Structure formats: C-alpha cells, structure tokens
C-alpha cells in the first residue's frame, strides 16, 4: 500500500517514510538520476552502497531506446537494470519540448521527431501513463506541458490548463490495483495565482502524490522559492511532494524547509564527470593545482568508500590522466554526499534542531 507516514515535523519540514510496492524509503529523499536506466558510471550495487533507496529513470529516452517492448519482455525496469530499490519515471513532456524543437502541440498530445534517428512519434497523456506503467516504474508522472522562464502570462495560462486536462485524461487510464502510483504535476509558471490554481485543481483530482514542475528553468532563485512556497502550502500534508530537477545542496535544504519530500538532480554525477566534488565545506575542484600533492581524502568528514580509500592527489592524477576511475570515484562520492546530507536533514528534523542547523548550513556552505 502506498502511504507517506510522517514521523516528525519542524515548521514545514517533514521527516517520514514513504511506503511503496518496492519497499520503504526514508524522506526527505534524494533520487540519483539514471536517465538511460543507469546512474552514469556506477553499478546498481554501488548506487545502493551510497545509501540511495530510489532512483529516477527517463521514460522519453527509454521509450526511444531500447524501447518499451524489449524492456517489458525482459521483465520491466527493475530486472532490466538489476535495481531492487524504488524507481520513479518522468512522463517525457520536458524532454520532448527540449530535445525535439520541431514538435507539434495539440489538445490530443505531442507529435515529435526522435533526437536519435529522426523517426516520428506521438505522445498523448494516456500513452504517457500507459508507457510508464508498462515499463514497471513504481511512481510515474502525469503528462504535462513545461513552461519556460520568460513565457507570457497567456502562454503560461494555456500551458497550465492543458496540463490539467492531460492530468485528468492520464489518470483515467492509470491502474492503481498494480500498486504503481501516479503523481500529478503542478505547473503555473511564475504567476502566483496560476500556481495556486494549478495546485488546487490537481488536489481536487486526488492524486496519491504531487510533483512540482517548471522550476529551476533559468529564473532567479528568489522567484523559484516564492513559487515553491506558494505551491507546497496548498498541497495535502498527508501526501508526498516531489520537487523536480532540483538541485544543489543548499537547494535541497531550502526545499525541505518549504515542505518538500523528494528531490532529483543530475548535478552529483555531472559535476563528478567534470572533476568537482561536493564536500561538507562546499565544492572542491580537483583540477586545481593546490591538490596535486594533497594526501587527504576528498572530504575528511565523509565515510564513503572513496574518501576512506583514495587521496585527493591520487584522484587528481586520475582525472588529469583521463582515467575512468576518476569519474566513477567522484560520481560515487557525490551521490554518497547527497545521501549523507539527506540523512543529516532527517536526523535534525527528528531531533527538533533542523531550523537551527539549516540556518548555519545555508550561511556557510560554499556553492
């Protein structure tokens, strides 16, 4: 049975457990991104070792390659990628808009060409839900129309309302008896009244959980936090809230302050591939010459396998030499750091010290 059990709160921050068909996950939770059914450079066992309990897969990419039929024939996403934890998929709307510039939008859905081979496809809200359910995801998203920063009010209103109509259509083909769960996606762009309208409309549809979309798309941070503040205040307290595609360590802490339970972002692995490590002091760029002979670990306060094994000097050498182990090590550490950060957040909420801790963290963390 899908259920969020809240064990502690402090102001709007919540510490809980999300019970789902793939097992229970502790919240607030960070989900590593496995776009192609793989968290880049890491094995499923390694991802588990970082503390991750749930990952994100990209339905758009997997629909195009290797295709629904193959994944379904091989037992669904869990068996296909040998991952025994939770899996959340997105609906593909954002990817169609961003990767297929010649897409065509109608009330029925989106026509688009594959960014891989130019083949033509059509995605309706019903097809998007059926696709994700057949892939075998534990949690999946309604089909929505993303709204870019800079959109006019009329564009924002039209996109938000088609998102609502698509959400209702998608919900009509969802099969809850499978134990798989569908989230509605709140849109509304950067118009406070449209954010309110979107949240209220989707809440009335009674989804098991709610995603907050259309943020961190180029807007100033103060605008993002204002829109998130408006949105989470209107969502049911007994249901999970997922902030899509966000973000940095300080973003996660601020999101928790505003009542968010779930996060995902490509940043830990992307920054790892670029030679940057997240530490409890802030970002550390291993390409800097000051680490050439540094015998210390990436982060002396981190208990991950990389920090317990390798020196900064060695990892910098691997990075400069183009060795794959550098990318793997930094990606592993960064995901482990994000999991440790979430564990600290959960612990402070449970202890009633989160507000004080968060204030100090946000004031001192170097991003």
Show which residues are catalytic: 90, 264
Residue 85, phi then psi, degrees to nearest 5: -95, -165
Pick from 155, 123, 157: nearest CA to 142: 123
Instruction: Write the DSSP string, 51-91.
Output: T--EEEEEHHHHHHTT-HHHHHHTT-HHHHHT--SEEEEE-
Tokens 């946000």 found at: 362
Q: Are 14 and 261 in contact (CB under 8 A)?
A: yes
Q: How many C-beta neighbours within 10 Å does residue 196 have?
A: 16
Q: How far apart are CA 347 and CA 342, in angstroms?
A: 9
Taking the C-alpha atoms of residue 183 and residue 179, their distance in angstroms, rounded to an integer, is 13
Residue the block writes with tokens 């307290």:
237
Rounded CA separation 358/41 (Å): 32
Is 257:232 a contact under the CB 8 Å cutoff? Answer: no
- For residues 54 and 88, the answer to whether their CB atoms sit within 8 Å is yes
Peptide bond into 169 cis (omega under 30): no
Please give the C-alpha separations between residue 263 and each of 246, 359, 366, in angstroms, as whole numbers: 6, 20, 20
């Amino acid at each position: 049975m899908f259920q969020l059990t809240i064990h502690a709160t402090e102001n709007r921050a919540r510490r809980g457990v999300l019970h789902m068909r793939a097992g229970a996950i502790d919240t607030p939770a960070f989900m590593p991104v496995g776009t192609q059914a793989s968290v880049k450079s890491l094995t499923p066992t390694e991802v588990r070792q970082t503390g991750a309990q749930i990952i994100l897969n990209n339905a758009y990419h997997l629909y195009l390659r290797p295709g629904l039929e193959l994944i379904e024939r091989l037992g669904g996403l869990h068996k296909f990628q040998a991952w025994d934890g939770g899996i959340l998929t997105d609906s593909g709307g954002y990817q169609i808009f961003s990767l297929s510039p010649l897409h065509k939008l109608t009330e029925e859905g989106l026509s688009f060409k594959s960014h891989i081979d130019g083949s033509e496809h059509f995605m309706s809200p019903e097809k998007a839900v059926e696709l994700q359910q057949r892939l075998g995801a534990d949690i999946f998203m309604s089909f929505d129309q993303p709204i870019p920063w800079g959109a006019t009010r009329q564009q924002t209103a039209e996109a938000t309302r088609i998102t609502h109509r698509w959400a209702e259509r998608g919900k009509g083909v969802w099969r809850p008896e499978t134990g798989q769960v569908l989230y509605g996606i709140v849109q509304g762009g950067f118009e406070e009244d449209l954010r309110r309208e979107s949240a209220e409309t989707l809440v009335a549809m009674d989804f098991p959980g709610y995603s907050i979309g259309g943020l961190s798309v180029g807007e100033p941070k103060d605008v993002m936090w204002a829109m998130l503040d408006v949105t989470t205040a209107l969502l049911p307290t007994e249901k999970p809230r997922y902030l899509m595609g966000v973000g940095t360590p300080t973003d996660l802490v601020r999101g928790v302050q505003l009542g968010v339970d779930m996060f995902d972002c490509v940043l830990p692995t992307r920054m790892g591939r670029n030679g940057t490590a997240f530490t409890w002091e802030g970002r550390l760029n291993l390409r800097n010459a000051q680490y050439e002979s540094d015998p210390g670990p990436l982060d002396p306060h981190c208990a991950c396998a990389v920090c317990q094994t390798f020196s900064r000097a060695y990892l910098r050498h691997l990075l400069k030499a183009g060795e794959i182990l550098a990318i793997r090590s930094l990606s592993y550490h960064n995901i482990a750091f994000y999991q440790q950060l979430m564990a600290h957040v959960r612990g402070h909420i449970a202890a009633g010290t989160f507000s004080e801790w968060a204030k100090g963290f946000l004031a001192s963390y170097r991003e």
